[in-house]
Structure 1
Amino acid sequence: MLQRKFDEVVKKEFPNAKDAKDTSIHYLGKMQIEHQLDISKVLMATSVCSDDINVPSTTFFNVLFGPFVMGGLGGVPFVGQTGMTAFAHHIPDNGSAFIFYGPHIGITLEGDLGKMYRPRMEETGNSCGALMLALSRLQDNDYTPVINDDDYQQMKLEESLLPYRDEILGSDNQAKAITEATYKIIDKKIHEYIKTCKNEFHVDKVTLLGGVIINTDYGLDDYFDARNFEVIDLKGL
């Protein structure tokens, strides 16, 4: 019953979102049936936020090799070209690569975005914490992130969001808007790194699945709003 209520709440904000575990099964099937990929030889990389709440979101983790972790705070692939090259070198012989990426956002049963009830905690907490912190800072017009070694990822995340600042602050739902902007940042970087590092791959195909992870309550399935599914032929890049 509670899962059904959450389904209604999630679909109001993300009409195309589906149960994250069902999403996993759906796209694994597409990889096998439509693209003839041998799932037993697929190495998975993730560019999702390092938040622990995202680990059980999908069943990809239970089926594929890996993951090779590319994402840091917010899901941005902070490993850069070096990380993409390392991932390319770890793919099984005659196998293929799969990259699952995107930001995450919590939602409560009351429909509050950017919040969720975490395991064994009575009060709601931020999700994504890094994005909600960035949002609170960007709301101060005098604020500019300063890159430093002590908080490098958060500062780089905020710096990358600066071009979207007006769009985010002008939105009716700023928590959702900053999540959407972060998806664009991650998607762009993943495609750039693949193109730059294409000669490092010893396989022909890289599968991408990008979107937004939507965190619900503890014990309930999360959702995933898919934005991009593609099988890239590296020879054509």
Structure 2
Amino acid sequence: MLQRKFDKIVNGFFPNAIDAKDTSIQYMGKMQEEHGINVSKVLMATSLCSDDINVPSTTFFNVLFGPFIMGGLGGIPFAGKTGMTAFAHHIPDDGAAFIFYGPHIGVTLEGEAGRMYRPRQEQPGNSCGALMLALDRFTKDSSYKPDLVEDDYQQMMLETSLLPYRDEILASDHPQVAITEATFKVIDQKIHEYLKATKNEFHVDKVALLGGIIINTDYGLDDYFAVRNFEVVDMKTLA
């Protein structure tokens, strides 16, 4: 079966990755059973790449309210503190909040990372396109620095955020994977920063965070998710 072949290929790059839909079920169960969160009163925010391929990745979208969309190219939460504040104000009464975040990367049956076969396309294309573009620019020019132009702001800010990781990315045996891992670190840092900065706007006790990497496969097959962080933040004690 193709799914089993993908299991082996995906786990070669991401050893702990599991089916994205199974991830949804597992972590909604954790929220409810281990942390007392009523999932029928949870508003979800996402900080995922705006790529259309990510929409059907998990069943969170079928169960939870939302999503409130924070992410742009690469999954960076470009909605910022204002977006986090708006999200805080939209949570159901006596409910809870959940933020699902991270970058994505394609994997093909040929074992290519950073590529995937998209719906109705015969040839593979980049996934994540924004990250692979950044990688291409970093690779071709060691002195490259993004120009923060207004008409391509998100891509330029994404690349600026990744500059501190450039040497590490280019030294990797799998730079496509490395730039994706680096992007997760950027997103994770910003989510925590914005949550802390807006903590007084949240009128709920708990905010659950699930961050990681979505691994895209072929059209019609399930995606995978490699968890990098799961926590339930007690907003009353958040410093």
* TM bucket, shorter chain: over 0.9
Q: Report the Cα distance in structure 2 between the residues aligned to 1:143 and 1:229, rounded to whole angstroms.
A: 35
Q: Is 1:166 paired with 2:139?
A: no
Match of 1:80 in 2: 80
Q: Which amino acid aligns with 1:236?
A: T
Q: Which amino acid aligns with 1:189?
A: K
Q: Which amino acid aligns with 1:146?
A: D
| TM-score normalised by the chain length of structure 1 | 0.99
Count, aligned residues:
237
Q: Report the Cα distance in structure 2 between the residues aligned to 1:109 and 1:80, rounded to whole angstroms.
A: 37
Q: Deviations over 1:62-114 (max 9, x none)?
A: 00000000000000000000000000000000000000000000000111000
Q: Report the Cα distance in structure 2 between the residues aligned to 1:31 and 1:204, rounded to whole angstroms.
A: 13
Match of 2:148 in 1: 147
Q: Which amino acid aligns with 1:52?
A: D
Q: Which amino acid aligns with 1:172?
A: D
Q: Is 1:116 paired with 2:116?
A: yes
Question: C-alpha root-mean-square deviation of aligned residues, in Å?
Answer: 0.5
Structure 1 residue 142 displacement after superposition: 2.7
Structure 1 residue 138 displacement after superposition: 1.1
Match of 1:63 in 2: 63
Q: Report the Cα distance in structure 1 between the residues aligned to 2:26 and 2:142, rounded to whole angstroms.
A: 43
Match of 2:223 in 1: 222
Q: Which amino acid aligns with 1:188?
A: Q
| TM-score normalised by the chain length of structure 2 | 0.98
In the TM superposition, 1:1-237 aligns within 5 A as 1-139=1-139, 140-237=141-238
Q: Report the Cα distance in structure 2 between the residues aligned to 1:6 and 1:142, rounded to whole angstroms.
A: 37
Q: Which amino acid aligns with 1:89?
A: H
Q: Deviations over 1:12-62 (max 9, x none)?
A: 111100000000000011111111111111000000000000000000000
Q: Report the Cα distance in structure 1 between the residues aligned to 2:208 and 2:174, rounded to whole angstroms.
A: 32
In structure 1, stretches of 5+ residues that fail to align are none
The 4+ residue runs of structure 1 with deviation greater than 4 A are none
Aligned sequence identity (%): 76
Q: Report the Cα distance in structure 2 between the residues aligned to 1:159 and 1:225, rounded to whole angstroms.
A: 25
Q: Which amino acid aligns with 1:197?
A: T
